[in-house]
Structure formats: structure tokens, C-alpha cells
Structure 1
Amino acid sequence: METFTHLFVYSFFFSLLRTSITQDTITASQSIRDGGTLVSAGGSFQLGFFSPGNSKSRYVGIWYVISPEIVVWVANRDAPLSDHSSILKVTGDGVLVLLNSTNGIVWSSNTSRSPENPVAQLLDTGNLVVKDRNDDNKDNFLWQSFDYPCDTHLPEMKLGWDLVTGLDRFLSSWKSMDDPAQGEYSTRIDPRGLPQRVVMKGDSIKTRAGSWNGLGFTGHALRPNPVYEYGFVLNEKEVYYEYKLLNNSVFSRYVLYPSGVGQRFVWMDRTHSWEPLDTSQADRCENYALCGGYATCNINNSPVCACLEGFLPKSPKQWDSVDLSDGCVRRTSLKCDDGDGFWKHKGVKLPDTSSSRFNKSMTLKECEGMCLKNCSCTAYASLDVRGEGSGCVLWFGSLVDTRQFSEGGQELYIRMAISELGRLEKKMHSNKEKLVGIIVGSTLLVVGMIIVGLVSYIWKKKLRNQDQAKSKLLDWHKRINIINGVAKGILYLHEDSRLRIIHRDLKASNILLDNKMNPKISDFGLARSFAGDQIDSETNRIIGTYGYMSPEYAVHGQYSVKSDVFSFGVLVLEIVSGKKNKGFCHPDHQLNLLGHA
């Protein structure tokens, strides 16, 4: 009997312990009610019911355990629940279903085959999957949330197309911060021509990151970093972009906001906050086709748009009024025979590739020949810039959405008439001659300035040595006489003059001595006068001599009679010690004379 009692107590305690352990999986015999959650095995992500912002509607979503306010995926984003009586379960056919209080299906997943023992599991990547319980091969998943993203791109999530099934994995913004329903903006891979990453507003392109060149998208420099690495896959079965974490202890995400702006974040453990890394629309040149056809956008220029070499504004009057959307046209039309050639533009974002063709094995030389054989071909570039470059891209029709970078970018070869190429080469040669003249002139100017500076330095050093020798010859009686004289002069300016005068630049070089060593205060160019009872003032322009300025004047621009008294104190130290405040040095510290005193 005692043994039975112990077994009962142990089994009861163990059952309590099991229900308290956080689970990452539900089977066909289990369900999650509003208030219950799943937590991934490593404790990174949590699934449950939530209400966004000020909304009272209920949704099933996935969020970070360390940052619960950041929801990365929503199941029923377009079908909100009105109460807290719903449940999420997985059926025997391997389908996730969300049931409301009347057991009506609000949302469900899908599957093409029936499993033996279906379970739903929340992985540490943030991916919710339905699979056979004993099959962890991701290629055999019955369904996964990563195939149906919302507004957040997580590491290892594919963004792009399954060309076999026709599945398009794309991000779509929330309608608002309180409403996770699908908004008007989306980030996707455009598979036309050479696939490229775009942000769409409805059916129109808003911004374009460009095509993949082996290292990154042509419109954004994806530089190596210690957080993650990028990848792009293009074959006969699929085309997609993804990024993977190099350190699994780091959290990173890319989110597309309801405004259409995308931003990448990384979690900072030290501050317990999300630190922004980059944004999809950093400046005006990110707007798609802002400058029209055959033009480049350079954010460092004003106006930002300029015609490509060999092209002129299509509508000059509109162009002069900064209406740039019509773009540019050729100065000299093409002949479509052997009288055409190519002009190389360096450091650009490649144009829209939706009307392009590409070949992975063709060399650039072969690409040039292929383009010359086709009258409608307007440009070519390297497909993959790694190493010496491989593969080829050909453009047909107008070149749209080209950007000029101050650094980075690619080389784009644009088809031109031979006569136009000759004119451009002459222009380039003339510009080189001008550049040589500027370099030579600048070099001579710099050398001259260095010589003048050296002469000036030597002369000032000689004068400084003379000044120091004079100060050493003065006896104490004469030094005190000078101090008293300066003090009387300051007293007169501050108290006895009809207008109170603040000198603001009292220093040794502004104290003149006559042949009897009587001091005279000179150089009143920075002086200010006060009327009536005024005792102080402020200025936004700090001028004077550092080393003699009072702290409140040097830092805040506040000056008064106290400013001159501070300068006088520095002057007294210099006269007594025979040392200059700024030039003072001591073997035991780095303080000036004032700090040393």
C-alpha cells in the first residue's frame, strides 16, 4: 500500500512537471487554445494568439521570445477573430486549422499528400512546419510558414519562385501597425528576363534593388559582414534569394513596413533593442525610373538626373524645369550594321532587366558580337562579376532605372554609332588634358604653400625666441610694473569708461610696451561695449585666442567683464613665469601652464 502511494505521488508530480514544460510540437490529438503557446526547442520563437497594437481582434502569430512585440508571421492575417474562444489544431490529414467559437474554419494550411503521423512543430528558425513525426527532412515537409511569408524576411527563408509548382514566395506589408492584413506593398523576385528584386506598390514597381551579379544586387552593395551571408539560386527548378546567419546566437530580420520602406535589423543584447542596419529606400534615386530612359541618377549631383554619354534630353524644356521623367534620346541614331560600337559606362547600377536576356556561358566578347548582330540590342554587361567575370546580359529596348555610384557599381557597355564614339573619345581626351593641367597647377600651388608655410614658421620661431629672451631680461620690478599697468587699463575699461568695454582678446601680443616699459592695451577689433546696467551677453560666433578664453565664453559664447579678468589671470601667469600658456610642456604631464599652476 505504501509503495502504491509513493508511485501515485510520483506519477502525479511527473504529470504536473510534463504539463509545465514548454512544448514546440502539437499532434493530431492536441490543440492550442487562446492563451496557450508553442515555444521552439532553443527558446528563440513563440507561437500563440495576440492582438496587434490598439486592435481588439485576435490572430495566431509567431514572435521573438526576447522581443514579444515583434511579430514575424501571422496565420489568419486577413481573417481576424472576434473573441478568445478559438483553437489551433492539426488534423489527421496533416492540415493546420484555426477554428472559431462555433467550430467554423477561419484559416487552414494545405497539403498534397497524407502523412502517417502528422505533427505541427515550431522550429528555432521561426518556421512553423507540418510533417510526419519521424521525418525531419525539410524537403518532405507537408507545409511550412516560410512558403507563405508576411512582412518579415527571416534567415533561411527563401524569397522567390518555385518554378515547378509556380509558388511565389514574397513579402507583403501590413495594412497598418494595428492591422496585419495584406497591405499595398510587396517585396518579390521579378522572374522576367534576368530575375531581379523589386518593391511593388500594387502592380507597379516602386524601387528596384536590381539583379544578382554573383556578390550582391546591382543596386545595393551587399558587403561581407560578421552577422550573415547572402545567397541567390537560379536554375531550372527555382529562383530565390536568401540569407543565413553566421552566428546562430544573433537575431536578424528584414521587415517591409506599411509605408513601403524596407529595413534590416539586428538584435543587440547589450541594449536589449533592435539596431537598424540598412534601409531599402535611402534616397531619392531609389525611386524607380525617376530619370526616364537612357539617363542616370546620381544623388550627389543637382539635379540628380543626367543623360548617358551620347544622349540628349528628349524634352529639353521639361528637362530644364526639372521634369525629368521623359528621359533622353540618342544624339546620333544607330545604323544597325558594322558602323556601330560600344561605349563603356563605369560604376553604375544595371538597368531594369525585365526586357533582357542572359547566358551563363557566353563571354563578354561573344556578348558584344551577339548584340551587334541584333538591331534591337542596346547594351550588354557581365552576368557574374566574381573573378574576371563570366556570363552575359543583353538589353533590348530602352535602358531604364540606371544609377551612377561614387564607388562600386558595374560596367555597362552601351551601343553607339561609330561617329558618336569618335566624338566621345575626343571629348574624353580633352578632359584628360584639362585634368593634367589641373593636377600640375594644384601641385605647384601646394608646393608654393608649403614653402611659404616653412618660411613663416621659421620667422615666427625666431620672433618667439626673441620675445622669450626679452622676458628673461626683465627684472621683477619691471614685471610687476607691467602687471599693475595692465590691471589699471582693464579697470578703466570696465569701471571708469563712459561705456563699459569688454576687450575679449587680452593676450601678451596685444600688450605694447613703450621705451619706459609702460604697458598699453591694443587691438580693440573684437571689443564690445555695454550700456547702462548691462553686465554680460552671448554670441554664436566664438572668436578670440584659445588659451586666453574663459571657459564660459569658449564653450557657450557667454562673455562679461569676468572674461577679461580670466584672460588677465593667464597673462599674469605668463609674465611671472616667463612661459607661454599654450606652448608650455612638462615632463610629468600634458597640462598647459594654467593647468600646471
Structure 2
Amino acid sequence: MLDGEYLISTNGKFQLGFFSIPNSNNRYLGVRTTDPHKTVIWIANAEHPIINGTGMLYLSQDGALTIGNNIGLIIWSTGSLVSRGEPQACLLDSGFLVLNDTKTGKFLWQSIYQLFDTLLPHVPLGYMKLLDTMLEIQLSSWNITEIDPSPGQYVRKLDPTRRYELVTYKGSEVFYRTGPWDGYRWNGFPKMTQDLVKFMVTPGENGAYFWYEPRDPTVLWRQVLKSNGTTYRSYLNGSDWMEYWKAPDDSTPSYAICGPYGIYLDGDCECVVEAQFHPKNGKSWNNRIFSDGCERNAPLNNGTSHKFVAVGNVKLPDTINAFSAETTSKSECESWCQKNSSCMAYAYIGWQGCLAWLGDIIDMQQYLDGGDTLYIRVAGKRGEKPIKVLTTVAVSIGSFLFLIIVILAIRYIIIRWLQNRPIDMNETRLFEFYKFNTIRDATGNFNDENIIGRGQLGPVYKVMLC
């Protein structure tokens, strides 16, 4: 294919050909949209542009796709792929270039193996273990957006060292992470919805992939990693790209800004459980330098009972040191963590189940709404349980004594009222007082024949009083 010719996808949305970036004479082979924006989707020779010349694209008999310049120098190549039939290059409706073998029907090479700064729908972002190597499909930012497409300092990938998190790296340092996938959204992006786009993380035996697809297949979407490390998702509305979301946004703190056991809340850092932790470096903390984080008020040791404190609405800590425990419920998850002295926190989230952090926790944010509940291991007080039991017993005894006092007081009031009220002569004379001699004569000198019953205070006699 000569410079100036184009290969168009079947749906008419993408074209493969040579082009120049504005304000530059360098030539690149890549895929762009066919709309008036001519948005760049992928570049083959981003690191090796054709300078002051034109290019040509060759497809050799053995399946190698090669870019040469106008003086015959090879600029870029997929390398020999050993086709057993007639190799064929196709630009798919997904916007990516593939080489296949028309005899065997197998793919020889795909441009997704060399992702650029853009992730289109249905394209996997992830990793696969192949023998002793790890094949990673990741995004790479431009060195300078709209000016220099060579790889910049930012890379975004589904990190195999973590528990299903998308992580953006700046060089070798973490710049931003999404939090773990919970089956519906990234834990650290509570505003995320699936109303216009369906998001998925697909685990496999030897790897995992993140991908997305629009609810309306006629709408073109893209996710772009810019040269400042920010990822944008947008869709084409007529002739304009409309921003759908970006990450990190203005509400997102820098990675691990609050240090170990520190948590970011509404523009400030706090210790994650203030009753159990304090700033490790108080002077720096007061000067708003939080990187040293927090430390425990009481150490965890064998002479101290341990308990878990719940912290809600949290972007869960970095899962670089998290472990997926095989449990079937939150209670089993807590039991597993309780039995493992190195387990400092746990969470139970739908898709992943039990996550246990084996060591210090870092990079947390608390939201007014959203996130998950994190259970943090803290030291309890010595003798805490017996004290609670004694307190309960004391409260029970006190309540019983109070009830007796109330009953006696009511009885006293009734008796006083009966003794002091005016007596109506027509009323039954239940409370008249009689002399002993009168009672003795009425009972026949307490004759047993007049006994009609017995009570706690002795026999009850039948009498006749006139």
C-alpha cells in the first residue's frame, strides 16, 4: 500500500494509511477515524517516524507486515510470522489491524498486541501467562499529546500483581489505581455506572482481561490515556467527542498521599481509626506532610486481645499485598483473618469474595456514599471481656433492687392512703381493729373446729362478729 492510499473497515468508521501529525512533516502508518476529526486510534511506527519522505506498506509471503520509506529502508515490521498459506491484512470494524492465514484461518498478528494510547470497545486490556513469560496488553500515553506519539511516561494496565485493579504507572511508580473490581464497578470509582456502557473483567486460568462495550453499538466510544496520566472515556456525538468521565478527577488524591493507615477524606488526611492510631510524625502531620502515615496506639501482640473495627464507604487499600481467601461468607472471612496474625484487614466484596491484607494498608479514601466496608485489626484492652460481663451482672442486680424499692414505695403509699381516708360506715369493715379478747371469744378460744384454712402466718378461723 502506497502513501496516500487507505484501507477502510467494513463499517466505514476506520481507515488505515499514512498521515502526519499537525505541525510536523513526519509520516506515520496508523488507524484513524473517518469522521472530520480524523482521530488517531493506533500508530505502528510511533517510535520510528518516516522523516522527510513517504512510506510504503508491504506484506511478505511469510506473513511479515513491513513499513519502508521511499529510499527502501525498513522502518517497522511485525517480523516473520511463517504463514502456511496466503497471508492477509484486514482492518476490522473494531478499528484494529489483523494478519491472518487464509489457509488455516488463524490470526498471525493483531495490533492489540501493540496497543497505543486508545482502548476501543471489545478490545481486551489485560495479561496472560505463557510458560515463563507474561504477555501484557496495556495502554501507553503519547510523549506529548497531539505533538509526539512516541511512548510517554504513563502506562495503564490491569495489573497482574494486584487483585483485579486497573493501575496507571508513571515510570515505575503508581500514579493512580481504580481499586479492586467488585463485579459491577471499580471500588474506587463509586460514581461509575453501566447505563451507557457495559464493563467487564473476565478472569481466566492463566490471566485476566478488562473490556467494555457500548449499550448502543452504533455509537463510537474510546478510552484514552493522555500524556498527563489522566484517562478519559468519551463518545462521538455527531462531529464532537463528548467526555463521559475521567480518572483521576479533581476529587481524587495523589497515590498514598496519607501514608500507611492514613485515609483521605474531603481534602484532608486522617488516621483510619482515630481511637486506635495516631500520626507517626506529628510535626510533619501538622505541616500537612502526611506521607509517614499513622501508627498504632497499642501494638498487636500475644498478650492483647484483637478485634476488628469497621470503616465504611472506603476505597479499599492497594491490593498489592492482598490475598483472596477461599471463604463463602463474611463471617468465614473474618475468622480466616483472625486466625492469621499477619492479616491486618479484610473486606468481603461480591465478585471477589474475601480479600485479606497481609501487612500494612495504604492508599485509602473515604466517600460520603459508595465504596465498601473495610474491617481493620486493632488491639483490644486486657481483660476487656470479663469487665463487660461484670458490668452486665452489676446492671442486672441494680435493676432488680430498683424494682423492689419501687414496689415497696407503692405499697407504703397505698397503706397510708387507706389509713388516713375518711371511713364510710356503709363500707365493708375490712380495716377495723379489734381487741384480743373479742377475737378470742369469737373463735371459741381458737378452737380447731373453727379453722377454715391455713396461710403462711398460721391458721385462719371462722368468726361471728356483731
Q: Which runs of 5+ in 1 are unaligned?
A: 1-31, 427-597
Aligned counterpart, 2:264:
297
How far residue 123 of structure 1 moved from its aligned partner, in angstroms, is: 0.5
Paired residue for 2:271, among 307, 310, 332?
307
Aligned counterpart, 1:410:
372
Change (3 A) 1:226 1:131: same
Q: How do residues 43-192 of structure 1 correspond to structure 2 at under 5 angstroms? A: 43-110=12-79, 113-133=82-102, 140-164=106-130, 166-176=134-144, 177-192=146-161
**What TM-score results when the alignment is normalised by the length of structure 2?**
0.77
What amino acid is the match of 1:399? I
What amino acid is the match of 2:199? Y
Aligned counterpart, 2:228:
259
Paired residue for 1:316, among 282, 296, 303?
282
How far residue 224 of structure 1 moved from its aligned partner, in angstroms, is: 3.5
Change (3 A) 1:41 1:326: same
CA contact (8 A) 2:255 2:363 kept: yes
Please identify, of 108-117 and 233-242, the stretch whose mean Cα deviation from structure 2 is larger.
108-117
Paired residue for 1:288, among 251, 255, 266?
255
Report the structure number with the largest CA radius of gyration: 2
Paired residue for 2:312, among 325, 346, 354?
346
C-alpha distance in structure 2 between counterparts of 1:393 and 1:209, whole Å: 16
What amino acid is the match of 1:141? F
Aligned counterpart, 2:297:
331
Aligned counterpart, 1:452:
none
Secondary structure in structure 2 of the residue aligned to 1:288:
coil
Aligned counterpart, 2:175:
206
Aligned counterpart, 1:40:
9
Paired residue for 2:343, among 377, 392, 399?
377
How far residue 337 of structure 1 moved from its aligned partner, in angstroms, is: 7.0
Determine whether 1:237 maps to 2:206.
yes
How far residue 255 of structure 1 moved from its aligned partner, in angstroms, is: 0.7
CA contact (8 A) 1:227 1:250 kept: no
How far residue 116 of structure 1 moved from its aligned partner, in angstroms, is: 1.0
How far residue 134 of structure 1 moved from its aligned partner, in angstroms, is: 6.4
CA contact (8 A) 1:351 1:402 kept: yes
CA contact (8 A) 1:163 1:239 kept: no
C-alpha distance in structure 2 between counterparts of 1:114 and 1:283, whole Å: 50
CA contact (8 A) 1:336 1:372 kept: no
C-alpha distance in structure 2 between counterparts of 1:120 and 1:421, whole Å: 74
C-alpha distance in structure 2 between counterparts of 1:157 and 1:205, whole Å: 24
Change (3 A) 1:281 1:274: same
What amino acid is the match of 1:92? Q
Secondary structure in structure 1 of the residue aligned to 2:178:
strand
What amino acid is the match of 1:94? G
Q: How do residues 499-514 of structure 1 correspond to structure 2 at under 5 angstroms? A: none
Aligned counterpart, 1:274:
241
C-alpha distance in structure 2 between counterparts of 1:233 and 1:338, whole Å: 42
How far residue 286 of structure 1 moved from its aligned partner, in angstroms, is: 3.4
Q: Which runs of 5+ in 2 are unaligned?
A: 389-466
CA contact (8 A) 2:304 2:379 kept: no
Determine whether 1:392 maps to 2:361.
no
* Runs of 4+ with deviation above 4 angstroms: 110-113, 420-423
Q: How do residues 430-509 of structure 1 correspond to structure 2 at under 5 angstroms? A: none
Q: How do residues 21-36 of structure 1 correspond to structure 2 at under 5 angstroms? A: 32-36=1-5
Change (3 A) 1:392 1:339: same
How far residue 378 of structure 1 moved from its aligned partner, in angstroms, is: 0.3
CA contact (8 A) 1:294 1:328 kept: yes
Change (3 A) 1:96 1:422: farther
CA contact (8 A) 2:18 2:55 kept: no
CA contact (8 A) 1:111 1:142 kept: no
C-alpha distance in structure 1 between counterparts of 2:213 and 2:235, whole Å: 13
Change (3 A) 1:410 1:135: farther
How far residue 237 of structure 1 moved from its aligned partner, in angstroms, is: 1.9
Taking only the aligned residue pairs, the percentage that are identical comes to 35
How far residue 142 of structure 1 moved from its aligned partner, in angstroms, is: 1.0
What amino acid is the match of 2:212? Y
C-alpha distance in structure 1 between counterparts of 2:42 and 2:10, whole Å: 18
Q: Counting strand residues as a fraction of each chain, which structure ranks higher?
A: 2
Secondary structure in structure 1 of the residue aligned to 2:344:
strand
Q: Counting helix residues as a fraction of each chain, which structure ranks higher?
A: 1
C-alpha distance in structure 2 between counterparts of 1:338 and 1:313, whole Å: 22
Secondary structure in structure 2 of the residue aligned to 1:142:
strand
**Cα deviation 1:204-240 (Å, max 9, x = unaligned):** 0011112211112111136444432001022222212
Change (3 A) 1:220 1:206: same
How far residue 285 of structure 1 moved from its aligned partner, in angstroms, is: 3.3
Aligned residues: 381
What amino acid is the match of 2:138? F
C-alpha distance in structure 2 between counterparts of 1:68 and 1:285, whole Å: 31
Flag the structure with more relative contact order, 1 or 2, with Cα contacts below 8 A and sequence separation at least 6: 2
Change (3 A) 1:336 1:180: farther
How far residue 405 of structure 1 moved from its aligned partner, in angstroms, is: 0.8
**What TM-score results when the alignment is normalised by the length of structure 1?**
0.61
How far residue 46 of structure 1 moved from its aligned partner, in angstroms, is: 0.6
Secondary structure in structure 2 of the residue aligned to 1:147:
helix
**Cα deviation 1:279-303 (Å, max 9, x = unaligned):** 11212533100111101112x25xx
CA contact (8 A) 1:228 1:245 kept: yes
Determine whether 1:419 maps to 2:385.
no
Change (3 A) 1:109 1:67: farther
Change (3 A) 1:324 1:228: same
Taking only aligned residues, the RMSD between alpha carbons, in angstroms, comes to 2.2
C-alpha distance in structure 2 between counterparts of 1:265 and 1:284, whole Å: 19
CA contact (8 A) 2:84 2:104 kept: no
C-alpha distance in structure 2 between counterparts of 1:130 and 1:68, whole Å: 27
How far residue 314 of structure 1 moved from its aligned partner, in angstroms, is: 0.7
Secondary structure in structure 1 of the residue aligned to 2:57:
strand
How far residue 69 of structure 1 moved from its aligned partner, in angstroms, is: 3.3
